[in-house]
Amino acid sequence: MKTIAIEEHWNSVSIRDALDRLQGGARDESVAFNEMGDNQARLEDIGQGRIETMDAAGIDVSILSVVTPATQALPAADDVPLARAANDEAAEAVRAHPDRLRAFATLPTSDPQAAAAELERCATQLGHVGAMVFGRADGRTLDDPAYGDLFATAARLRQPIFIHPQIPSNELRDAAYRGFDPLTDLGLATSPAPTGCCSPPTTRSTGPTRPRSSTSSTPSPTPPTAPRSPPATRRPSSGWPESTIVIVCHLGRIGNTSK
């Protein structure tokens, strides 16, 4: 049985440089993790060094994906050409090691129509096996109707969409995860609780909650519970096709990154 690793990050020099040029609130601080130790050199090696590391770890096949936030933190003018170039670079690596590597497409989601077109190009021309996306781009989360064509394309081409966590927006970090030294702030923002993909899970009460009595030890009688009807099947508000294949990474990390 083959061991296939499906979350094997890499990075292109061009994407790294573009992210480093971002200033102020546009900068994605999670890229600091890429610079620790020898991470940068290892991320940028999708050649023989990567194969040797796979051999040492007992991995037969790696599916390459550009590390967070890929090109999604960039304006569309940079996002589109850099995503395309990264996909071409990944395809070259796969061609050099066809028995060991596959690739997820990098999508320029700051331009939803360009993202749909790039997914189609990667699937039909480059041989990519799906796409990895992050929680938001240009203020939009993945449940925005603007991404309807992207997910329709994924469904039509049977391309899985791997949703990876992303650092929360600055607004959410200001409200909940700042006030400490910079490293602690970053650690809180990238811990399992706050980081996420789209909207938060929704929890609804099935009935009124009765306060516990502090003066009586006798439990109140439990009212009879009416049988529940099965929940109605709802289409996502974005209109995603029902056949869209979505892989959610790190389920414990889903949170609200839109505010």
**What is the residue-level pLDDT of the chain in tens, covering all 259 positions?**
899 999 999 999 999 999 999 888 787 777 777 888 899 899 999 999 999 999 999 999 999 999 988 999 999 999 999 999 999 999 999 999 999 999 999 999 999 999 999 999 999 999 999 999 988 888 888 999 999 999 999 999 999 999 988 777 777 767 777 777 777 777 766 665 444 433 332 222 233 333 333 344 444 444 455 444 444 443 344 444 555 555 544 433 333 333 3
Instruction: With respect to residue 210, please indicate whether it lies within any of the assigned structural domains.
Output: no
The residue behind tokens 């546009």 is 26
Q: Return the closest-CA partner of residue 134 out of 170, 104, 175, 158.
A: 104
Instruction: With respect to residue 156, please indicate whether it lies within any of the assigned structural domains.
Output: yes
Which residues form the domain of 133?
Answer: 4-201+239-253
What phi and psi, each to the nearest 5 degrees, are found at residue 219?
Answer: -70, 145
Contact 59, 51 (CB under 8 A): no
Measured CA to CA, the distance from residue 10 to residue 88 in angstroms comes to 13
The per-residue pLDDT for 191 is 66
What are the structure tokens assigned to 96, written together? 């050099």
- Facing residues of 131 across strands? 105, 161
Write the CA distances from 126 to 35, 70, 250, integer angstroms.
Answer: 30, 19, 28
Instruction: With respect to residue 195, please indicate whether it lies within any of the assigned structural domains.
Output: yes
Instruction: With respect to residue 221, please indicate whether it lies within any of the assigned structural domains.
Output: no
* CA-angle at 226, arms to 224 and 229, nearest 5°: 160
Instruction: With respect to residue 212, please indicate whether it lies within any of the assigned structural domains.
Output: no
Measured CA to CA, the distance from residue 90 to residue 199 in angstroms comes to 30
Measured CA to CA, the distance from residue 190 to residue 168 in angstroms comes to 8
Q: Return the closest-CA partner of residue 87 out of 77, 76, 95.
A: 95
93-132 as b/e: b if 16+ CB within 10 A: bbeebeebbbbbbbbbbbbbebbbbbbbebbeebebbbbb
The 10s digit of each residue's pLDDT in 187-217 is 766 665 444 433 332 222 233 333 333 344 4
Instruction: With respect to residue 246, please indicate whether it lies within any of the assigned structural domains.
Output: yes
Contact 93, 47 (CB under 8 A): yes
Domain CATH number, residue 124:
3.20.20.140
Q: Name residue 28's amino acid.
A: D
Look up residue 259 and give its DSSP letter: -
Instruction: With respect to residue 206, please indicate whether it lies within any of the assigned structural domains.
Output: no
What are the structure tokens assigned to 169, written together? 């927006």
Instruction: With respect to residue 112, please indicate whether it lies within any of the assigned structural domains.
Output: yes
What are the structure tokens assigned to 146, written together? 């603007």
The 10s digit of each residue's pLDDT in 82-98 is 999 999 999 999 999 99
Number of compact structural domains in the chain? 1
Measured CA to CA, the distance from residue 153 to residue 111 in angstroms comes to 15
In the three-class reduction of DSSP (H, G, I as helix; E, B as strand; rest coil), residue 177 is classed as coil
